[in-house]
Amino acid sequence: MFKLAERIKQLPPYLFKEIDQKKKEIAAKGVDIIDLGIGDPDLPTPPKIVEAMVQAVRDPANHHYPSYSGMDDFKTAIAKWYEDRFSVKLDPETEVIALIGAKEGIAHIALAFINPGDLALIPAPAYPVYNSGTLFAGGRPYLLPLLKENNYLPDLASIPEEATRTAKMIWLNYPNNPTAAVADRDFFEAVVKFAHKYQIIVCHDLTYSEIAFDEYKPMSLLEINGARDIGIEFHSLSKSFNMTGWRIGFAVGSREAIKGLGSIKSNIDSGLFQAIQVAGIEALKANKENILEIKKTYARRRDIMVKGLRDSGFKVNPPRATFYLWVPVPNSYTSVNLATRLLQEAGVVVTPGNGFGYPGEGYIRLALTKDESRLLEATERIKSIGL
């Protein structure tokens, strides 16, 4: 009866929606499913954050429309956290904006800077929203393959001149989802130089900056000289503080980019519930004590899963950051074939790599978002089906 808009027809099926449907079908048969497919932490939100939220909900001052750009206290807390963590000084008023989860800002930034037909340089495999946000704005994605031989970094020198001249933005995400790759200062310096040369906005998704191991500390794009002129960085409290359901994030960086994103937000939403922002302030204040325990937990889980997969014949290396494993599939499988078999015969949900873009074919992604006993059980199940 109703005809979908062309922009909807252009969108690929959302990966995790398809996975949810398959899980329901298998669970309906009575199978005990171990879900390692979606990066939703199983750990609870730290109690101090919850208590801050409870108190803020009781305060009538928080029951009204919030500012679309965020409370001054929350933005100030973000700026202080950035200075403490990255030695980057930000103006809370002009270089910080609150988001209803990082996904909201990631999806909307293209509406501020992409005209119909404009190019956006998008890595693949990658979080699907970089691509869908571009399509919603009428833009054209130009995919940058992330390959093992390049350490899953985009090869900037290989981008055709025609694409660089017409591109309006480039997306980056380090530490990376889904590959768990990391980037060093030399890479970010090259990106900033590239962006200045072609006047391209750099959109850096830094969601996983705090989930890192073995003394490794991910850096911010904004630590690079000249980055704040061309860069905007997206962050989330979801992964770092187990707050996925709270929908709280922020963006920082270029005043122009923040202003453009703010113009979209002021016309689309009414801002982030203030009580959640109060909880966000508590999260950022208590960052070190909370994060240390969370990182230790994921490090133990990483080691359990890497050993179990190696015992089953997989070639997998322990990542330095994120809570994902990016695992090459055996030669006799495609990523979908293997994911399907693991679900049907082992009751273990993993994400096929090609769902993140065609360069992800040949891999599966596993999220370390179950407790150690369930991860051990998952490795035993995988081993038992004899891949």
**pLDDT in the model for residue 262:** 97
pLDDT values of the chain reduced to their tens digit, one per residue, 387 residues: 788 888 887 776 666 676 777 788 888 888 899 999 989 999 999 999 999 999 999 999 999 999 989 999 999 999 999 999 999 999 999 999 999 999 999 999 999 999 999 999 999 999 999 999 999 999 999 999 999 999 999 999 999 999 999 999 999 999 999 999 999 999 999 999 999 999 999 999 999 999 999 999 999 999 999 999 999 999 999 999 999 999 999 999 999 999 999 999 999 998 999 999 999 999 999 767 778 899 999 999 999 999 999 999 999 999 999 999 999 999 889 999 999 899 999 999 999 999 999 999 999 999 999 999 999 999 999 999 987
Report which of 302, 303, 307, 358 is spatially closest to residue 334, judged by C-alpha positions. 358
**pLDDT in the model for residue 289:** 75
**pLDDT in the model for residue 160:** 96
| Residue-wise burial string across 53-87, b where 16 or more C-beta atoms lie within 10 A, e elsewhere | beebeeeeebeeebbbbbbeebbbbbbbbbeebbe
Q: What are phi and psi of 17, to 5 degrees?
A: -65, -40
**pLDDT in the model for residue 8:** 80
**pLDDT in the model for residue 16:** 64
Cβ distance 180 to 321 under 8 Å? yes
For 38, the 3-state DSSP assignment is coil
The CA distance from 139 to 107, in Å, is 12
**pLDDT in the model for residue 14:** 62
pLDDT digit string (tens) for 3-39? 888 888 777 666 667 677 778 888 888 889 999 998 9
pLDDT digit string (tens) for 170-193? 999 999 999 999 999 999 999 999
CA distances from 68 to 71, 154, 243, 268, 351 (A): 9, 34, 20, 10, 35
Structure-block tokens of residue 203? 């959109």
Sequential DSSP letters for 60-110: GGGSSPPPTT--HHHHHHHHHHHHHHH-----TTTSEEEESSHHHHHHHHH
- Tell the burial category of 234 from Cβ atoms under 10 Å away from its Cβ (0-12, 13-18, 19+): buried
Structure-block tokens of residue 101? 């989860």
Q: What is the pTM of this model?
A: 0.95
The CA distance from 104 to 247, in Å, is 9
**pLDDT in the model for residue 287:** 66
**pLDDT in the model for residue 13:** 66
**pLDDT in the model for residue 184:** 97
Q: Please give the angle made by the CA atoms of 84, 88 and 91, to the nearest 5 degrees.
A: 105
**pLDDT in the model for residue 322:** 98
Domains in the chain and their CATH numbers?
6-45+289-384 (3.90.1150.10), 47-286 (3.40.640.10)
